[in-house]
Structure formats: C-alpha cells, structure tokens
Chains A and B, each alone.
Chain A
Amino acid sequence: MIPLPSLSAAMRVWRRDLRVFSKIWRGALLPLFFDPLFYLVALGFGLGTYLATINGVPYREFIAPGLCGSAVMWAASFEVAWNAYFKMEESRLYDSVLATPVEVEDLVLGEVLWAGTRAVIYGTTFLVVIMLFGLVQSWWAIAMPPFLLLGGLCFATIGLAYTSLIPKMDYFTFYFTLFITPMFLFGGIFFPYDRLPDWAQVVAWFTPLYHLVAIARDLATSPDALTVTANAGWLAAVTLVAFAVPVRAMRRRLVA
C-alpha cells in the first residue's frame, strides 16, 4: 500500500504548474490547440466528403467527438512525459519540492491533476469548436468535460508511471510510437471498432482511448447511461490502480 496523498499539498504542486502554464501557453502551447482541428478539417471535411455515413452518422460528426478524446490524450501525455522528466532528472525541481512538506505521493497527485486539467482545457476547447461547427447532435455533449478530465487523469497516470520508470528521455520514442500513436489511429476515432478483427477489438478494449472515445461519441450522439458509466468506471479503475506505480518508482528514484 502507498500512503494516501494530501490533497492540499498536491494542489500546491498543481498551482505552480498552473502559474507556469498561464505564462507560456500563448507561445509554446497554442499550436497544440490546432492539432485536432487540422485532423477534423483534413479527414472530416476533406476525406469525409467521399465517405458515406458510418452507423447512420455523417463521417465528420463520427470523428469529431473522438478527436476531443485524442486532444485529451495528447495533452496529458505531453505534460507528464518530457515536462515531468525534465523536472525529475534535469532541472531537479522535484528535489526542491520534496525538501518541503510535499511528499512523493502529493507530488504525483499534483502532477496528475495538473496534466488532467491541461487535458480538459484542450479537450473542452475542441468540444466548443465542434459544437460551433454543428457537429454535435445531442445537448448531452455539454456533460463531456468531467469525463474528459477523467480520461486526462488516466492518461496522465499511465504516462507518469512510464516516465518514472525510464532511465533516459530517449525512451519516450517507444511510448509515443508504440502506445500513443497506435491508440490514436486504432482507438476508434476514425472508424468503428466493430469493423476490426476480433483480436484487435479485444486489444482496443484494454486501451484508455477506446473508452474515452466511446464516452465522447455517446454523449455527442445518443447517450446510454449504462455504457457511459461502464466506460467511465473502466477509466477510473485503471487510474486508481496505476497511481501506485509512479509513487513507488519516484520514491525509489528521488527519496531512496
């Protein structure tokens, strides 16, 4: 068992990250807002004009909610990859934080909460964009941000677990090439899962993006409470179980 984190100590870490984000988002992070928009325009409004509907939904409306999920995934993953590694091993900022009453479990929770926050900012911004484009059929879509946050927390926890275990930054290539990018391509954003082979559907079920995209698409079209709850439960369970990994690994690494 790991010690329970202190929420107030974690929020101190979160506030530092928010302060930094508020200073640099225009310069360094604004381009990330455009990423899903380019995919929507290229695939939804470009390729989509050549495609028939999918499950009765026009292609651009099919991919738009899924891109909210991918915006969340990329934002959370970037935050806990190079940013966190830099603070852990290069600038040694985590050492200075851990010399205060903040403990490792608080630090991990603070970083995960911040990455989730950043993810929900990106995901919700894109949600507003697709609503303005008229690509959302149900008003239930406005209930999406809490689920985007949950997805962000899940990606952040998994990503921070990976960051806390790797010996050097070069290993992020494996994470993004072999885990994040395949999820983006095969996670159900661009085509329905039921067209995949059986084994691929099983693999997809074990990835967080599958569940986040399912929630986003459900809320944007015709939500089914049971399905949404089941997918959200999957994300919450994985987040809670995976949380111990970065806590243990960082404790070994920083407070050995």
Chain B
Amino acid sequence: MSALAVRARALSKAYDGRIAVDGVDFDVRAGECFGFLGPNGAGKTTTMKMIYGLAAIGAGTLEVLGRDVARQRRAVKARLGVVPQDDNLDRELTVRENLVVQASYFGLTGREAETGARAALSFAGLQDRAGARIQELSGGMRRRLLIARALVNRPELVVLDEPTTGLDPQARRSAWATLERLRAQGVTLLLTTHYMEEAARLCDRLVIMDFGRIVAEGSPAELTARYRQPHLEAVFLHLTGHGLDGDGRARIEALGGPS
C-alpha cells in the first residue's frame, strides 16, 4: 500500500455556526491525483484551505505528508504548492519576479530561486513571457503561471482549487496537459473542479461532497459502475441534484440518470 499524502479523520469546520465541512474522512495516497467534486458551498474549498493553512481546523485530525497540520502548519506548508481558485498573482511584479519572490517565501534565494523560477516557467510554457507584466497575460497564461508559481519550491503535494474555471477549452486542455506532466513526475495532486470531464481525465480517485459531507468515494469508473450511470456527470447529478426542478430532473434522465 502506498504511503498517505493526506489523512483526514472526522474533519469539521464551521463559520459562525454554519457547518462548512461536517466530519469527513478521506485518505489521499502519495503520487495519485485525488479530486473533490461537489456543488457550490459543498465544502470543497474549505477542506482545501484547511490542508494548505488558510483555514483553521475546526475539529478532527488532518495529517498532510505525515505531519499534523494543526501543530506543524509551517512545516507542512513548506512542502506544498497551492493553485488558488482566484488569481492572486502579484501585479506589481513581472512574471519572472512573481516566481522568484514566491521562491523566496520558501527560503530559496539567489541562484536557487532563479533556477526554480526558470524551471517552473519552462514547465508551464511561459519562458517567452518572463519579463511580461501580469496585466499583459491572457486568462489561460495567468492560470499556467499560477500553476508554475505552485511549483517553484518543488512541492510533494500540489493543491489545485478549480484550476481551470473560466478558461476557454484550448486553455483548459493546455492546463490539463501541464497537470498530467506533473502527475507523471510523481507529484501528488489534490484537485477541486466543477468540470466532470476534467475529473474523469485527471483523477485516479475522487470524492463527491454535498452539504459538507462526503456522499461518494472511488475512482471515476468505480462510481459510474456503483451508481449505474453512463458517466461521472450523471453520478454527480444523481447524488447532488436534489435541488433541481422538474426540468432539471428531466435533464438528468436525458443524461441517463435516475427517474
């Protein structure tokens, strides 16, 4: 059995009494791409934020790369790369400077930081835009730069929160290719997405979350087989489509989902 990159037990989080994550258990094996699917507000981003330290753990335990996040957050973060949902690149700096400064936050300086930045730029196919300002980049390039920024410290685990949201199909496929190369290098990937095609293509295993709870877990093939659905989107709607009106139900049925 592979070593675990992430181990969550009874993990919970509430904001002002509203439960965001409700006692979830999951394991992520080292080297796999693990997905979190769910409608908006299902608790995916909160779970991710607890992993990379932007949300305090409410209750339960969370171990990342063998360390307790609640006690050793700084040490955990040193081994992670994070691609956030929103573009929070540094607009005062160029593309290359964004990476060099990011490397410096991990304690890399001088030649080490420059080398890391160059490698990440090359990996993301942005070496030609090293001197460009952020405002000059297209949406797709910014996404690739966010991925590159997450790689400057050579992380063992990369957390990607909706990494391709808002991208056109070409840019999305380009980002997928980048992530597939990363996975091929043995880096563990944690991914939230709204795109079923993305989850089916990239994820070895995934969980579907709803109302802060995990309602299904398995590989895309296992889930479609278990719920007798033609594809992952139908599984997703079958498990989380409770709020849909009659038209929505009809669309699920048209997809081959439950009647």
Name 17 extra pairs, CB < 8 A, besides A92-B88, A96-B82, A254-B54. Answer: A8-B107, A12-B107, A15-B101, A16-B93, A23-B92, A91-B88, A96-B102, A98-B53, A99-B82, A100-B78, A100-B102, A100-B105, A101-B77, A103-B73, A255-B54, A255-B55, A256-B55
Min C-beta distance of B38 to chain A, whole Å? 21
| CB of B221, distance to nearest CB on chain A (Å) | 33
Of residues 70 through 98 on chain B, the ones whose CB sits less than 8 Å from some CB of chain A are 73-75, 77-78, 80, 82, 84, 86, 88-93, 97
Which B residues are CB-close (under 8 A) to A101?
74-75, 77-78, 105-107
Number of A positions contacting B (CB below 8 A): 25
Interface assignment of A35: CB less than 8 Å from any CB of chain B: no
Chain B contacts of A12 at CB under 8 A? 104-105, 107
Complex CA distance for A8 and B104, rounded to whole angstroms = 10
Q: Mark A12-54, 1 if CB is under 8 A from B, else 0.
A: 1101100110011000000000000000000000000000000
- List chain B residues, Cβ under 8 A from A256: 15, 55-56
Q: Which residue of A lies closest to B78 (CB)?
A: A101
The smallest C-beta distance from A180 to any residue of chain B, in angstroms, reads 25
Cβ of B36 within 8 Å of any chain A Cβ, yes or no, is no
Nearest B residue (CB) for A20: B92
Instruction: Given the known inter-chain contacts A12-B104, A102-B105, please indicate yes or no for A92 contacting B54, CB distance below 8 A.
Output: no
- Does B88 contact A96, Cβ atoms closer than 8 Å? yes
**B34 adjacent to chain A (CB < 8 Å):** no
Chain B residues lying within 8 Å of A230, measured Cβ to Cβ, are none
Nearest CB in chain A: distance from B11 CB, A: 16
Q: Which A residues touch B236, using CB under 8 A?
A: none
